[in-house]
Structure 1
Amino acid sequence: SLYGDINLVSGIPFPRMPLEPKWYRFRILNAAVSRPWLLRILNSKYEDISKTYCKMIASDGGYRITPIPFPDTGLLVGVAERYEFVCDFTTFANQILYLWNDKNNDWMQGVPYFCYSHLLSKLEIAPTTTSDSPPQFNADMPMPIPERTITRVLNMSDYDTALQMANNGKFHRQMVFERSNNQW
């Protein structure tokens, strides 16, 4: 039950996001220690547009086979949960929208009053897009080749010995974390 009173979006408190009137993908991770989120996107009259213009495409379980509508009551995001959704902002040219943290007294009774930080981000939709062409998807991008080969720290003999020791309850080593080959 540790709550802060400043909400961050990509490390910035209440950022202003200049966007174009097109589709956008939002990747949400609740990195708060205790706070649940009830996300909505509101227009300048504070009307919820998310259920009409947004679709859920992924969660902690991975990508969905088909998108589903944004929840009518808002997207409830618990601590350490991840969601992705896409929104169609093509009809909102030259308008202001808000990424909003709502409150539901049934689900969020334990959230203190000072945490009613509703405004998460201001979405400023430009009058026009800079390009009419859709983004290009390159399905044949080559995987980057590592600069040097990765060498094993443990060989199979070491692994088998460690497994046998663990099964027999004979531990005498400590776990040491260090970098090797520029990796952890």
Structure 2
Amino acid sequence: DGKGKNKINSVNDFIKCAKYLIDHRYTNSSKLVISGASAGGIVIGMALATHPELFAAASITSGMLNMSRLDQIPIGNANFLEFGSPFNKQEFNNLQTIDAYLNLREDVNYPPVMISVGLKDERVFPWQSAKFSVRLNEINRTSLDKQVLVIANEDAGHFVNNFVNMMVFFMWKTNITD
């Protein structure tokens, strides 16, 4: 129930989990951080786009963030079966539903985001992350502390080792000093 026209279920389940953690006081939105990579960018990007109030910060690495343009990335055709084809009208509409870039909204207070890409990524071209970053920065333009931090690794491909940077970013944005 989490692929094709039902991919949005993955996002909705993720959001329900975040709300559960907050509602049951395991954490609060000032400490809840989220991260994902590659196709995980769909869930993280959409959670961020639709429920930014739940999260203190987000990190997306080599993320698939512009799903309606799935045909424009090298692994796009291989993912049509799982996510849908932009060449089929109904499937294209479904892709727009899970397109984080298209679901960003003006006048929304998005949390800080760190985007990481490998400039030699031959699976998900870095332009998807760049496009998403620019749009977030346009929306958050009046809030310098919420501008998107982009880490572009010149020598990396799809698998960017970014764990330490991500942890430091999350500690910074949640005011954890230990």
- Which structure has more helix as a fraction of its residues? 2
Larger radius of gyration: 1
Q: Could you tell me the TM-score, scaled by structure 2's length? A: 0.26
Structure with bigger RCO (C-alpha 8 Å, 6+ apart):
1
Q: Could you tell me the TM-score, scaled by structure 1's length? A: 0.25
- Which structure has more strand as a fraction of its residues? 1
